[in-house]
Amino acid sequence: MAEKQKLIEIKNLKQYFPVGHGQVIKAVDGVTFDIYKGETLGLVGESGCGKSTTGRTIIGLYQATDGEVLFNGVSVHAKKSSQELKELKRKMQMIFQDPYASLNPRMTVADIIAEGIDIHGLAKTKEERMKRVYELLETVGLNREHANRYPHEFSGGQRQRIGIARALAVEPEFIIADEPISALDVSIQAQVVNLMKKLQREKGLTYLFIAHDLSMVKYISDRIGVMYFGKMVELAEAEELYRNPIHPYTKALLSAIPLPDPETERVRRRTVYDPSQHNYKEGELLEFREITPGHFVLCSEEEYKKYKAMYS
Amino acid sequence: MEKLLEVKDLQVSFQTYGGEVQAVRGVSFHLNKGETLAIVGESGSGKSVTSQTIMRLIPTPPGKIKSGQIIFNGEDLAKKTDKEMEAIRGKDIGMIFQDPMTSLNPTMKVGHQIMEVLIKHLKMDKAAAKERAIELLRLVGIPMPEKRVNQYPHEFSGGMRQRAMIAVALASNPKLLIADEPTTALDVTIQAQILELMKDLQKKMGTSIIFITHDLGVVANVADRVAVMYAGKIVEMGTVDEIFYDPRHPYTWGLLASMPSLDSDDKAELAAIPGTPPDLTNPPKGDAFAPRNPYAMKIDFELEPPMFKISDTHYAATWLLHPDAPKVEPPEAVKKRLRQLSSNYPQPVIVKESE
């Protein structure tokens, strides 16, 4: 990335869900970050931390409670004409976790892939439509004989490829991949990740890669954001985050990953994160602050000074 | 060391409309007292069927134990009737499943599900069983067990449910615990807690564990020995060090190489294993892994490789270990792991059929 151009800007995004009795769940609670053109931003955290909700709100599957998402400078959630909305939706696509649940079992693979092409009128004739489908199938490593089959005839890895082909069909610029490999076997995970990287190189795609498998996230991402209870607690370049984690939660998370090496496993010490360890005072302002260039941590003024002294 | 379980040449098939699926095709292994054996492999490799056959949880029909023995405590489980198995299942052998939401009964209080085991197998009365249930919940690290014992599974979080299931499985002090992907659905931090809990309980109770997983990080963490399964067969088996520092089978190499490593900033393409596992209705001739194996030789497509013994504890079924086989270099990512292990024989030895 010679020149970092912001593709997505997320500003103080909040997504609350009412759960009755006047209570709300703050699934995403004031998250701010940018995604640059052509990069892969990894988003990690435990289940319930709001990483998937963040992804779904960015793409407009939920109406944000507060805050803003700008795609190429245009707000995703602002009122738009249906034409503008359609155009925006074409540029952002999503790949889902469960390749079994996200493909309509009653549609053939060709129809699943071509649905977006039909909606956006990207093919003028039937022949052109099928040609696109065949191309897409080949791009994701399937072959044209697969076009007339149904999803149940495919393995998990193949289905995920169909999901990727469907997302690519409308030539998006930005793809949100919500745990795209979690349901797959190890050897198949590597195939899908290699495919995603190849497509990124060829088409200049930008990814938001949501996952809880940290080693795969590190491998695919340029930068990684760590979420905890609806807030982003740390954001840094992938390598930097693993080498110099600053926020205690990130440290705890990294120390919990079992590595495929029996010797390190025998001596591994896990650190446990306790939110009360910060000893924040009543009403203390927590902000996302830059400790070293490009490395942001959610911290108080006091912690900021401490981190600054320790790490730079 | 004392053997608790010995599986000999187990073959399990399922009758389907598409023909007979040979899910397990001749699996032999043993498990010592107090040890943890990890079974690794992709979905469809037969690892879950193997463990469910030990528990005799395979529905028959369509499933069928075609041959083989499962010697547990000196008795052959493969020959037991359903009625006889009821006395063993849940008592001598406990099982933990991947998804605690579907394996705990949603209409029963968690405490009752633990008490059920105690009352049936240990013949406790209700009051004593309840007390023990609270104790067990405390043992598996559930806070406020007196309150939790009267709650339903939906009131528990995922990690708590998995702990509750471990409490159910351990209630009768089983000699063998079969854990089928117990942490796959959990977050890493919760996974780490559950693994620590299982190891801790194993130390206290001396339980033997069969741990089924596809996560090699988890294997390195929990296992004493590892069996790698592919297409219904064990292709490599050894101590955890032998499998991670001296792997011999190309499939094990493939598994190890397809994982990105956390401590390197290497962004080279991952060494994915191409293709997909074979269809076990018509298992391929020769070595089932051959079509996906970059090291496959002509003989791999013709004749099934025999088991070679690399040390007293290390076995691998690949023609590459044959004295006539050409020397090959394992993938880069695997080469970095290799170490010279002193326990190895000077030359791999073919294991004879009769052994």
With tokens 């009769």, the residue in question is B354
- A278 within some domain: no
CB contact under 8 A, B261 and A262: no
Q: Which residues of A touch B214 (CB under 8 A)?
A: 185-186
Report yes or no: A181 and A213 within 8 Å, Cβ to Cβ. Answer: yes
Cα gap A169→A172, rounded to integer Å? 8
Of B186 and A193, the structure prediction assigns the larger pLDDT to A193
Q: For residue B192, give the nearest of A187, A190, A270 by CB distance.
A: A270
What is the per-residue pLDDT for A301? Answer: 87
What is the per-residue pLDDT for B197? Answer: 86
Q: For residue A259, give the nearest of B195, B217, B258 by CB distance.
A: B217
Report the residue of chain A nearest B268, measured CA to CA. Answer: A219
- A100 within some domain: yes
What is the per-residue pLDDT for B140? Answer: 84
- Judged by DSSP in three states, A124 sits in coil
Report yes or no: B235 and B318 within 8 Å, Cβ to Cβ. Answer: yes
CB contact under 8 A, B255 and A258: no
What is the per-residue pLDDT for A1? Answer: 45
What is the per-residue pLDDT for B265? Answer: 58
Q: For residue A262, give the nearest of B43, B158, B241 by CB distance.
A: B241
Q: How far is B269 from chain A (nearest CA, A)?
A: 6
Q: How far is B16 from chain A (nearest CA, A)?
A: 16
What is the per-residue pLDDT for B263? Answer: 65
- A64 within some domain: yes
Region of A179 please: left (phi>0), alpha (psi -120 to 50) or beta.
left
Report the residue of chain B nearest A240, measured CA to CA. Answer: B265
Q: Which residues of B touch A215 (CB under 8 A)?
A: 217, 259-262
With tokens 């649905």, the residue in question is A115
- A252 within some domain: no
Of B100 and A151, the structure prediction assigns the larger pLDDT to A151
What is the per-residue pLDDT for A155? Answer: 78
Q: Which residues of B touch A209 (CB under 8 A)?
A: none
CB contact under 8 A, A186 and B195: no
Using beta carbons and an 8 Å cutoff, which residues of A are at the interface with B? 46-47, 155-158, 185-191, 193-194, 197, 212, 214-216, 218-219, 239, 242, 252-253, 256-265, 268, 270, 273
Q: Which residues of A touch B245 (CB under 8 A)?
A: 262
- Judged by DSSP in three states, A120 sits in coil
- A106 within some domain: yes
- A138 within some domain: yes
- A244 within some domain: no
Neighbouring residues of B144: CB distance < 8 A, sequence distance ≥ 6: none
Counting beta carbons within 10 angstroms of the beta carbon of residue B291, is it exposed (0 to 12), middle (13 to 18) or buried (19 or more)? middle
pLDDT (average), residues A203-227? 90
CB contact under 8 A, B273 and A46: no
Supply the CATH number for residue A112's domain: 3.40.50.300
Q: Which domain holds residue A124?
A: 6-229
What is the per-residue pLDDT for A79? Answer: 80
Backbone angles phi, psi at A16, to 5 degrees: -105, 145
Q: Which residues of A touch B261 (CB under 8 A)?
A: 215, 259
Amino acid at B325: A
Question: What pLDDT, in 10s, does the model give residues A29-86?
Answer: 989 999 999 999 999 988 778 888 999 999 888 888 999 999 988 888 888 888 888 8
Cα gap B187→A249, rounded to integer Å? 14
Please give the tally of structural domains in chain A.
1
- A154 within some domain: yes
Q: For residue A187, give the nearest of B42, B219, B244 by CB distance.
A: B42
CB contact under 8 A, A262 and B244: yes
Q: For residue A190, give the nearest of B192, B241, B272 by CB distance.
A: B272
Cα gap B189→A212, rounded to integer Å? 10
**What pTM does this model have?**
0.84
Per-residue pLDDT of chain B (355 residues; tens, 9 = 90+): 788 999 999 999 998 888 888 999 999 999 999 999 999 988 778 888 999 999 998 888 888 899 999 999 889 998 888 899 988 988 899 998 877 777 889 999 999 999 999 998 888 999 999 999 998 898 888 888 999 999 999 888 877 888 888 889 888 888 999 998 888 777 788 888 889 888 988 998 889 999 998 888 899 999 999 999 999 999 999 999 999 999 999 999 999 888 887 666 566 777 788 877 888 888 888 898 988 888 988 889 988 899 999 999 999 999 999 888 888 888 888 888 888 888 888 888 888 654 4
How many beta-carbon pairs under 8 angstroms link A with B? 110
